[in-house]
Structure 1
């Protein structure tokens, strides 16, 4: 289960929202405040409309801030760059780095889903991992755009200011390199998670509905922080610390911002909110009846 955080980070907890879900916080210093919304990148059709609190905060703010440029990552140019980043250079292939047993397990799984292993062979383990996770989530009905995409489109339509904390290429670099130090472990984990993913999602939904930040941290972040400190450092800690300087600057302008990032960045002792609290900002959960 150690790579659970990776599934969480890559697809940002593709779990169902309910009317009780409210992963929104407000950071205040002096007379200035900024809102933070924990996001998911893939949803089911049944998850819409989103909770009223998201829309209440959206109406109040001047600017939406995302992890990266949502329009750019949908462009053909970026899609081509992504395929190149996930692909091994110099003719290297996945079957050259996987053990025979792992390769056979991957082949068997893909066959059960009506797919062949050959199209995955030119790509790194992170691509196989992402393919398996998204394939299973789609089978569970998570085929709609997520919170980020929804508000990016709505903000553009309403002429809200739109910005982001890192470039698409920076984000791609983080994700594409995952698992290269131990490809067998990453691919094996993704195959093992096929059977447990529905239960995982159910548990996450339960904690999400209860607003239990501690449980979310224990379920998604802490296991990898202990077992894979390098991944935790590069995917979460380093990025959170890079983002902070951009976020603090938002308290010195006349706008009110709504920062929408994967909720893994907002829970735990290394989170963006913890870093702000250490810098003297007041952090509070936004109430469900926020107007």
Structure 2
């Protein structure tokens, strides 16, 4: 769940995407749950089909972060990321992991990772990979949804603050952070291909492929899975249940990884006896 940080003019049509979306409802409330990608290839057509209907029908949009919190995320990162004392990357990584880290760093400006916590170095690596995969936050689902809802005069809110979201990483124990950094470095030589494969699975609405890629990766680090996925999904499913007490239609747009798997938001809602159905 790293936070991935247009030119004017006419562009050719981009790739078509039909991401998975679910609906939970009662007599007077409908909550659409759309799995998002925070960054996408330029011009991706993701907001047609049933998603277009959900956008039109929704009275409000709720994302992981509100626009104001998303705008503040960079400053929060700069506040939380620095170490109390620098630590050379060579003291954290060795062998293949170090070599691949250096190769990724050499593809652009230096990360300055010596001054940052392990989790923050991993975030910087994720941003570089997204750039190399030609994915842009400006073309991500959240950016597009925000523009559409603001243009329609509909409210846009968030489930978390930027501070709370980044503190999920900041408060991971040192051993877990090191494992995450090491795994990211070891896999960085194939990371662009993996990100593109993940984006393609999302575009197809291929829930089984998303589940396999996302959950197999995070399952290898249980402490990270609990903090970054399971605990948040539990809070968000509680939010959905509470929101069902108010009438209206809501579009809830969160990272696709939160909507697939055995401890996803839809699965948790179904475990509470609610009927959740996939509508795209």
TM-score, with structure 2 as normaliser: 0.84
SS state of the match for residue 25, structure 1? strand
Equivalence for 2:29: 32
Equivalence for 2:250: 257
8 A Cα contact 1:86 1:124, kept in partner? yes
Counterpart pick for 1:47 among 38, 44, 47 = 44
8 A Cα contact 2:101 2:188, kept in partner? no
Equivalence for 2:154: 160
Mapped to 2, the partners of 1:264 and 1:127 lie a distance apart of: 20
Mapped to 1, the partners of 2:191 and 2:95 lie a distance apart of: 22
Equivalence for 2:76: 81
**Is 1:219–2:213 an aligned residue pair?**
yes
Equivalence for 1:105: 99
TM-score, with structure 1 as normaliser: 0.81
Deviating more after overlay: 182-191 vs 78-87: 182-191
Return 5+ residue gaps in structure 2 as ranges: 5-13
Mapped to 2, the partners of 1:229 and 1:254 lie a distance apart of: 37
Paired residues, what number? 270
Mapped to 1, the partners of 2:96 and 2:48 lie a distance apart of: 42
Counterpart pick for 1:70 among 50, 57, 67 = 67
Mapped to 2, the partners of 1:172 and 1:221 lie a distance apart of: 20
Distance 1:159 1:95, change over 3 A: same
RMSD value, Cα: 2.7
Mapped to 2, the partners of 1:253 and 1:247 lie a distance apart of: 10
Shift of 1:59: 0.6
Shift of 1:205: 4.1
Mapped to 1, the partners of 2:214 and 2:122 lie a distance apart of: 17
SS state of the match for residue 142, structure 2? helix
Equivalence for 1:267: 260
Shift of 1:218: 1.7
Shift of 1:111: 5.6
Return 5+ residue gaps in structure 1 as ranges: 1-8
